[in-house]
Amino acid sequence: MPSLREIIDYCDTRLDIRAFDDYCPNGLQVEAGASVRRIVTGVTACLALIEAARDVEADLLLVHHGYFWKGEPQPLTGMKGKRVRELFAAGMSMAAYHLPLDAHPELGNNVRLGRLLGFAGAAAVTQDGLLWGAELSVTLEAEELRQRLCELTGREALLLSGGAHPVKRVAWCTGGAQSWLSKAADQGYDAFITGEASEASFHIARERNIHFYSAGHHATERHGIQALGEELSERFGVRHEYIDIPNPV
């Protein structure tokens, strides 16, 4: 049975967490046990996920969105206090990997989303690995790409049209990267995919002639954490289960 420390050290190194100046601490956030037999992965360490992981007797909860964000109150009271109490009561540790899991070239949310959408030749187009792009082998109409996103995510994707042109070059960044729409337009992409939209997204898409797709913050960030959990299961011989807590955002 591997130790908690072995697994966390592996994740920290594999995801190169020291390379990122993130909005939250990456790695172990709650330590409640010394060894790991079962890992549950999920997107966000909400109470519903903690309770579901407890019910299957997980020793480690591994998430993309954890706690202790910059600007967030630090006391363990209220909602956050209840979540942490439940972790300790279950003897379940919790680790979170945010930007390192978005950017990773093999396990990351961005590379996994590109593969699942069938974007051959997808690659990071910024040094930090957070913005990805691809040139499509077959040109798509804007609505065709929206339908592909709907099929993958199981939800209605929002398309803010940037004109009548088809999609040949597409960029994406999972989660809440709507502010990167102009960066994608600057690099000549026909379309940009992310998780959320803002009021300004509509006007930028129209004025920069780039199609904007909002496919869901949660929905676009489900795949990296699953890939990490599967790799840990294979490497350490532990049981792994991904639990999805539906989120319409």
Could you list the pLDDT tens digit for every one of the 249 residues in the chain? 999 999 999 999 999 999 999 999 999 999 999 999 999 999 999 999 999 999 999 999 999 999 999 999 999 999 999 999 999 999 999 999 999 999 999 999 999 999 999 999 999 999 999 999 999 999 999 999 999 999 999 999 999 999 999 999 999 999 999 999 999 999 999 999 999 999 999 999 999 999 999 999 999 999 999 999 999 999 999 999 999 999 999
3-state secondary structure (DSSP) of residue 139: strand
Residue carrying structure tokens 């019910």: 55
Q: In the chain, where are the structural domains located? A: 4-97, 109-220
Question: How many CA atoms within 13 Å lie on the side-chain side of 233?
Answer: 16
CATH number, domain 109-220: 3.40.1390.30
Which among 52, 59, 55, 130 has a CA at the least distance from the CA of 95? 59
Beta bridge mates, 194: 214
The answer for residues whose C-beta is within 8 angstroms of residue 186's C-beta and 6 or more apart is none
Question: How many CA atoms within 13 Å lie on the side-chain side of 16?
Answer: 11
CATH level 3 topology of 4-97: 3.40.1390
Following CA atoms 103, 141, 189, 161 in sequence, which dihedral angle do they give, to the nearest 10 degrees?
-100
Using an 8 Å Cβ cutoff, are 50 and 88 in contact? no
pTM: 0.96
